[in-house]
């Protein structure tokens, strides 16, 4: 076979990452036995720094669902980093989508098992998440702010997590969620996932047919954009009755939420003023947690059924043995029944060309 320079470079890069996946173990023990479902916790690098600082402020303990997301003290900023956890799960700290999928495949091959649960943790927006699609995009101008966040200190990542979200920004996000064609710089949405999965031809062999994907992020499942994304990811990754779960609401995941990802959203002005007052001061997600809703897309390889599960206390991070009842649909009537319509007096807002990403101090621009 004859390689072009670009093909040869990519082959060397893939081989190097696969090798790094095998040797870059920063904590934990050997893989558990084959009888246990293989759970992978995938965390964008900056979010791992948040959990490292949060754990030092309030010790998570062994049984906290977020313990696997704590970046080790001796970890570098060079990703991917693979961490084997004491419960048999594996954590991948990543910087871009291409890197993540390469690492997932490498972990499954080393473990000799297919992945049963894939949790993807990072900052989100309706229909996508804030991380680059590949190394070239990561190094580009459109990802300058992402690099600034990922390479910044634990203290910076910790402080920006507790930034209050004003009403106008929440309403803008709700408006944006109804447009499935929105696309923002340095984000990975359904199109980026489609291209990446097509490039990683051995990925499907690494995933169990009944794979469960939990997207641990704010508002990724909200609205039309969230519905298209969630069903699309299920179509790409799930072939035998597994499912993909995304949050309709803003996600909560600090030391005070040991059961899993909690939920928060705008309900009324009084509630918002109260929450935005106590949240930055107390730095405790449980103080503002609400009952929330998640979007679930069930895949069988040919068709995807999507619905909304309401009255959820947490989005679990482990293997789910039962499925919640689903409200089918993504229309404005369903959102209205959940209290997620535009607030009275706000009117119809123009689709944003820039937007501050929830949980950060950074503004991203539309493509």
pLDDT digits (tens, 9 = 90+) for 136-178: 999 999 999 999 999 999 999 999 999 999 999 999 899 888 8
Q: How big is the CA angle at 294 (ends 96 and 54), to the nearest 5 degrees? A: 55
The pLDDT of residue 160: 92
Domain tally for the chain?
1
Q: Is the pTM above the cut of 0.95? A: no
Q: How far apart are CA 113 and CA 110, in angstroms?
A: 8
pLDDT score of 26 more than 60: no
Q: How much is the average pLDDT of 198-220?
A: 96
For 162, the domain range is 5-365
**Torsional class of 194: left (φ above 0), alpha (ψ -120 to 50), beta (otherwise):** alpha
Q: How far apart are CA 213 and CA 318, in angstroms?
A: 10
Q: How much is the average pLDDT of 92-99?
A: 98
Q: How far apart are CA 208 and CA 211, in angstroms?
A: 5
Find out whether 273 and 207 touch, Cβ atoms under 8 Å: no
Query: What is the pLDDT of the chain when averaged over all its residues?
Result: 86
Q: How far apart are CA 265 and CA 245, in angstroms?
A: 18
Find out whether 47 and 121 touch, Cβ atoms under 8 Å: yes
More confident residue, 170 or 329: 170
pLDDT score of 71 more than 60: yes
The pLDDT of residue 10: 45
Q: How far apart are CA 315 and CA 243, in angstroms?
A: 13
Query: If pLDDT is split at 50, 70 and 90, which confidence band does 337 have?
Result: low
Q: What six digits make up the tokens of 109? A: 């091959």
190-221 residues labelled b (16+ CB within 10 A) or e (exposed): bebbeebbeebeebeebbbebbbbbbbbbbbb
């Amino acid at each position: 076979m004859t390689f072009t320079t670009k093909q040869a470079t990519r082959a060397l890069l893939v081989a190097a990452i696969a090798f790094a996946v095998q040797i870059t173990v920063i904590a934990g023990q050997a893989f558990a036995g084959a009888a246990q479902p293989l759970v992978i916790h995938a965390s964008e690098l900056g979010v791992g720094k948040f959990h490292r600082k949060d754990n030092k402020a309030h010790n998570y303990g062994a049984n906290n669902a977020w313990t696997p997301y704590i970046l080790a003290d001796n970890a570098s900023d060079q990703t991917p980093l693979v961490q084997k956890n004491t419960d048999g799960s594996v954590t991948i700290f990543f910087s871009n989508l291409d890197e993540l999928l390469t690492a997932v495949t490498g972990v499954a091959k080393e473990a000799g098992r297919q992945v049963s649960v894939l949790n993807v943790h990072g900052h989100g927006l309706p229909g996508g998440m804030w991380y680059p699609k590949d190394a070239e995009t990561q190094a580009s101008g459109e990802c300058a702010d992402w690099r600034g966040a990922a390479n910044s200190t634990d203290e910076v990542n910790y402080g920006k997590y507790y930034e209050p979200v004003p009403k106008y920004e929440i309403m803008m996000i709700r408006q944006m969620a109804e447009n499935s064609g929105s696309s923002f710089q340095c984000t990975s949405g359904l199109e980026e996932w489609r291209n990446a999965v097509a490039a990683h031809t051995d990925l499907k062999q690494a995933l169990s047919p009944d794979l469960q994907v939990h997207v641990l992020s704010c508002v990724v499942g909200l609205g039309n954009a969230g519905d298209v994304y969630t069903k699309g990811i299920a179509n790409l990754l799930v072939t035998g009755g597994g499912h993909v779960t995304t949050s309709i609401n803003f996600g909560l995941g600090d030391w005070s939420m040991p059961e899993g990802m909690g939920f928060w959203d705008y309900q009324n002005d009084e509630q918002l003023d109260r929450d935005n007052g106590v949240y930055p001061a107390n730095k405790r997600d449980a103080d503002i947690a609400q009952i929330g809703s998640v979007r679930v897309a069930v895949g069988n390889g040919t068709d995807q059924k999507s619905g909304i599960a309401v009255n959820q206390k947490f989005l679990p991070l482990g293997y789910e043995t039962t499925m919640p009842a689903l409200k089918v649909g993504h229309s404005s009537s369903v959102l209205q029944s959940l209290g997620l319509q535009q607030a009275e007096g706000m009117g119809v807002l123009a689709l944003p060309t820039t937007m501050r990403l929830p949980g950060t101090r950074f503004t991203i621009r539309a493509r």
